[in-house]
Amino acid sequence: MVDLQKLVRLLNSDLDGNKTVLYELMKVKGVGLMFSNAILTMLKIPKKTKLGDLSKEQLLKIEDAINHPKKLNLPSWLFNRRKDFETGEDTHLSSTQLFIANQEDIKQMKKTKTYKGVRHIFGLPVRGQKTRSNFRKNKGKGKLGVSLAGKKPTAPKEGKEGK
């Protein structure tokens, strides 16, 4: 058994070595609970082992499995990028690749002026949330509604008296 590492670096993420592998893998961007569970099952790594107890070979296998899940014959419904816009393939992205792909998708939606793209352009919620009370931004003079507390009463104008 290898000495327990307190900090494990995996796919540009710092993970706590004192916690279980199953839940620590979820801290890697692009890896969820189901994907983490599937990888550990296919690699035959016990889910309750501490992340710091894993050997370097096991960590490399996990990293390779996250980057190339097709090698493990995982079902495509586990992937986070199914039917890619450009290639049409099912892939799984993680860390910075996922961030870049997301930004490219938003740019494409803005360019084609889809409904979601227009909502992104104006900074409004994209997924159907109500906008009456949430998502208010300080636009203009910093006022969200009518406030009478700071206004001074105006005096009546002189010089025009009715005859």
Mean pLDDT of 135-150: 62
7 residue type, one letter: L
Rounded to 5 degrees, what are φ and ψ at 57? -65, -45
pLDDT beyond 90 at 137: no
pLDDT beyond 60 at 141: no
Q: What is the pLDDT of residue 146?
A: 61
Domain-wise residue ranges, the chain: 7-76
* Reported confidence tier of residue 148, pLDDT bands at 50, 70, 90: low
Residues in contact with 103: Cβ distance below 8 Å, sequence separation at least 6, in sequence order: none
* Reported confidence tier of residue 12, pLDDT bands at 50, 70, 90: confident
Q: Which two tokens stand for residue 104?
A: 């490219």
Cβ-in-10-Å burial (0-12, 13-18, 19+) of 40 comes to buried
pLDDT digits (tens, 9 = 90+) for 14-42: 888 888 999 988 998 889 899 999 999 99
32 residue type, one letter: G
Q: pLDDT: is 51 or 1 the higher one?
A: 51
Rounded to 5 degrees, what are φ and ψ at 100? -65, -45
Q: Where are any strands of DSSP class E within the chain?
A: 7-10, 13-16
pLDDT digits (tens, 9 = 90+) for 92-118: 888 888 888 889 889 999 999 999 999
Q: What is the pLDDT of residue 159?
A: 67
CATH for 7-76?
A: 1.10.8.50
pLDDT beyond 70 at 160: no
Q: What is the pLDDT of residue 116?
A: 92
Nearest 5°: CA angle at 77, between 76 and 82?
70
Cβ-in-10-Å burial (0-12, 13-18, 19+) of 39 comes to buried
Q: What is the pLDDT of residue 8?
A: 85
